[in-house]
Amino acid sequence: MTFTVRAITLDLDDTVWPIAPAIDRAEAALDAWLQRHVPGAAARWPLEARQRLRSQVDLDRPHLAHDMTTQRRWMLERMLEEAGEDPALAEDAYEAYFAARCEVEHYGDSVPALDRLAARVPLAALSNGNACLRRIGLIHLFRFQLGAGEHGAPKPDPGIFHAACEQLGCPPAQVLHVGDDLETDIAGAHRAGLRTCWINRNGDGPHGRHPAGLPGPDLEFPTLAALADWLDAAHPQESPRP
């Protein structure tokens, strides 16, 4: 299948890098910070208790469930206060967590593929997470990064896709959204009028992973490198953008 692609929006977590190792690293960094600076809070809030509290925070403040940064900071303030510590320390605790959360390990194909894609069309990051591409060192490959917290609503809400298209200066039908999640990325972008590409790194077939009634992707590849190959083949006469 070929169609016009004037810009690409990309999901980040589990598309450019696996999220689980980054979260494990972040929780370990937070544990170390708590044990060093507020050992009473560390004893009161081991990992399992923090995970339960994190889920409860979204239930208590559903209007902010899309904003992971705000919810995490408020959670840390609550942890410290309930442990009898100064809640003002939450900012330092968050920095320890977030710095490690941004120490991602890219999939082997990701960075070379992003280099190739960015040489052809503008890229924009479109994520429900809160990773910082500037800290990670990839912001130079992207026109901008738009997160659910910044926008005010997460994927699959069509508004976040439309906001990205407007900022890119392209109609939705000429923007390809790339991601790993069939509901938030593929169905959400499809409903917003974008073309879609499912990065299916696990080789999962449509049965069992594709929820009934959701639209399928326009493209499906196991890696971002394969997507870059497709873009080169689908638009062979186009010169790389300056």
Catalytic residue among 11, 67, 109, 181: 11
Residue 62 backbone zone (phi > 0: left; psi -120 to 50: alpha; other: beta): alpha
Start-to-end Cα distance in the chain:
26
Yes or no: say if 153 and 160 are a contact pair by the CB < 8 Å rule. Answer: yes
180 has catalytic annotation? no
According to the 3-state scheme, what is the secondary structure of 111-139?
HHHHHHHHHHCCEEEEECCCCCHHHHCCH
Q: Cα–Cα distances in Å, from 118 out to 178, 217, 228, 231, 242?
A: 13, 22, 10, 11, 10
- Active centre residues (catalytic): 11
